[in-house]
Amino acid sequence: MIYVTGDTHGDLSRFKDPALKKLKKGDILIICGDFGFIWDGSKKEKALLKKLAQKDYTIAFIDGCHENFDILEEYPVTEWCGGKARIIEDNLIHLMRGQVYEIDGKRIFAFGGGHSQDYDFRRDSTNWWEREQPTHEEILDAIRSLNEKSNEVDYIITHEPPASLKDCLGVDVFQRLEVHAFFEDIIKVCSYKKWFFGKCHIDKHIPIKFYAVFNNILPLT
């Protein structure tokens, strides 16, 4: 079974949720960006990663706006479930931008990254990375991946929401990125059942197909 939840931001207590105690070997929990456990490379952080690796289920995450991309990109790229991925631990997987994965009989398109809400405060510091913002090349790779699947997937997992949803969400999209226009194109040309995103830190269903997720743990059904 596959489940989806929102940003964890390096908070181990999120994995003590009673709902996660039901997950078993073979189950997968997908985190919609801002995983946050790859941040400073400290001994404490590495111990936390080892602790997460002891879970019976697999944890897969897309990157968000609060990851240390210098550390994340040190992990080699390999193939996992039909797409490119980074294996952090045996059961801890980084789902890369623009990849389509075949998991438990379901086709999942993943696209992380976005724009930090606190960009103005972090951009001149040592804990902001330009690579948080998706590049034109990554978008082109994503288009190719979707075209190879005839623009048909079961689920879409992103960090940023499509910009056209901002009024429904009651939040502002402070900066228009190329990826926002790309997401609007996906809405028009792709066939999918549901679209999940984590950026807004709320749990809300926007009919018919969109789900903002944060604390909720939702099954992909």
pLDDT of residue 119: 56
Model pLDDT for residues 77-133, shown as the tens digit of each residue: 999 999 999 999 989 999 999 999 999 999 999 999 987 765 555 665 667 767 888
Identity of the amino acid at 209 = K
Which residues, other chains included, contact 98 with Cβ-Cβ below 8 Å and sequence gap of 6+? 110, 111, 138, 139, 141, 142, 143, 144, 145
Q: What is the pTM of this model?
A: 0.93
- Helix crossing, 178-189 with 136-148: angle to 10°? 10
Pick the CATH number of 2-219 from 3.60.21, 2.40.480, 2.40.128, 1.10.10: 3.60.21
Q: How far apart, in whole angstroms, are the C-alpha atoms of residue 155 and residue 3?
A: 12
Straight-line distance from the first to the last Cα atom of the chain, in angstroms, rounded to the nearest whole number: 9
Delimit the domains of the chain by residue range: 2-219
